[in-house]
Amino acid sequence: MKILDRYLVRQFLWPFCFSLLCFLFLYWLIDLFTHLDDFLKNQVPFWILIQYYLATIPIVLVQTSPLASITGAISSLSQLNRTQELMAMRSCGLSWYRICSPLLVIGIVITFSALFLNDRLIPQAMMVTHAIKEEHLERESQEAHPSVIENVALYGTKNRMFYAKRYDPNEKILYDLIVFIDDTSHRPAAKIVAERAGWIVNDKWKLYSCVSYQLGADGEIIDKPAYYEERTMDLDETPQSFLKMESQILFMKYGQLEDYIDRIAVSGKNVTRRLLVELYSRVSFPFANFVLILVGIPFAIFPHQQKKWLFTGIGVCVIIGIFFYAVNSISISLGKTGILPPWLGAWGADLLFAGLGVYLLRES
């Protein structure tokens, strides 16, 4: 690495790391004051609080790193602009692409670091924070459930996969239930379809108006279906298992989630589409670090002759960073509802802002 490259990277890393620390302490401060009453009322031990806030570190770092990246790019280049160092580099015959290439390289490094954290540390961190919240902060609210949950899918024990069109957690009833039972090789062996299923007690569900099918290796029906007006099934899954479906997804690594999607693909596109957006987002969001650096560079170097634009450029790029989060949320929502394909819902904001960054860089 050349001296100039090391200098530019060092100029970037100071505001980048400072921004990350600010975001982390700001999150801790807001979260602490938000839950202070709960901490005191539930007498949460101090060591539990330390464990909780340490577990939030990788989560906050990954979520705020894109905004810290654009802040680092703008702050470093603006400082060089203010001291006329950029002009000196240009007078030596260096192009904007050569000057900014170290920042783009460090953006790639940050992206892959975020990918590593997203797959290796964050699922475990989410599990820790969720367990602490559930045990120490949400004792009184555990009984308050949403009225109806649409399109519930759960891969349970003993190679059984459950899909219900609707789930009423208050009444503990699954509507339009389908149970797929796989053999030891994870090939379909049986299917049970029921109009509804209600929770009794002692790990038992009662199925109403259900039909049981035996399936062949290719999923075809091989025997005459058996009809039951009522049928009781002993299952390991409880009503709480279906409520925890969303949180269980957050605890999965990329490969585990990909395998889970493959297993529940028989549930239909409504379920897999939402999970595919979540899967693709685990890769697309870390790439926002590189994308926002790419967008931020032109605002720091153009128009580089006018110092009055420096602070305006910084403010505009911070707004762009926040705007990216909004566009990303909208794009993901459109992907989950089926308006956009799952891959485009996850990558939409990255593609849009990357195109904007390339255009502005070429115009600068």
Where residue 145 falls among pLDDT bands split at 50, 70, 90? Answer: low
Reduced to 3 states (helix: H, G, I; strand: E, B; else coil), residue 168 is: strand
H/E stretch holding 180? strand 173-182
Of 91-105, 138-152, 283-297, give the lowest mean pLDDT range.
138-152
Which residues, 6 or more positions from 120, have their beta carbon under 8 angstroms from its beta carbon? 253
Handedness of CA 225, 229, 232, 233 (dihedral sign): positive
CB 104 within 8 A of CB 149: no
Angle between helices 308-337 and 288-301 (to 10 degrees): 150
pLDDT in tens, 321-352: 889 999 999 999 999 888 999 999 999 999 99
pLDDT at 246: 62
pLDDT at 304: 45
Where in the chain are the domains? 3-139+279-363, 157-236
For the chain, what is the mean pLDDT? 85
Of 46-50, 107-111, 258-262, give the lowest mean pLDDT range.
258-262
pLDDT at 127: 86
Topology, domain 157-236: lipopolysaccharide transport protein A fold (2.60.450)
Give the mean pLDDT of 42-52. 90
Angle between helices 46-82 and 122-132 (to 10 degrees): 130
pLDDT at 286: 96
pTM of the predicted protein model:
0.80
Neighbours of 310 (CB within 10 A): 19
Whether residue 8 is predicted with pLDDT greater than 70 in this model: the reply is yes
Whether residue 156 is predicted with pLDDT greater than 90 in this model: the reply is no
Give the mean pLDDT of 240-269. 77
Which residues, 6 or more positions from 154, have their beta carbon under 8 angstroms from its beta carbon? 161, 162, 163, 237, 241, 242, 245
CB 290 within 8 A of CB 349: no
Separation in Å, CA 273 to CA 36, 230, 244, 260, 342: 38, 33, 19, 13, 6
Which ranges of 174-287 would DSSP assign to H, the alpha helix?
239-243, 245-250, 254-263, 269-284
Burial class (CB within 10 angstroms; exposed 0-12, middle 13-18, buried 19+) of 34: exposed
Whether residue 188 is predicted with pLDDT greater than 70 in this model: the reply is yes
| Percent of the chain topping pLDDT 90 | 39
Where residue 196 falls among pLDDT bands split at 50, 70, 90? Answer: very high
Of 16-20, 143-147, 288-292, give the lowest mean pLDDT range.
143-147
CB 287 within 8 A of CB 354: no
Of 33-42, 46-55, 121-130, 149-158, give the lowest mean pLDDT range.
149-158
Give the mean pLDDT of 305-322. 63
Reduced to 3 states (helix: H, G, I; strand: E, B; else coil), residue 264 is: coil
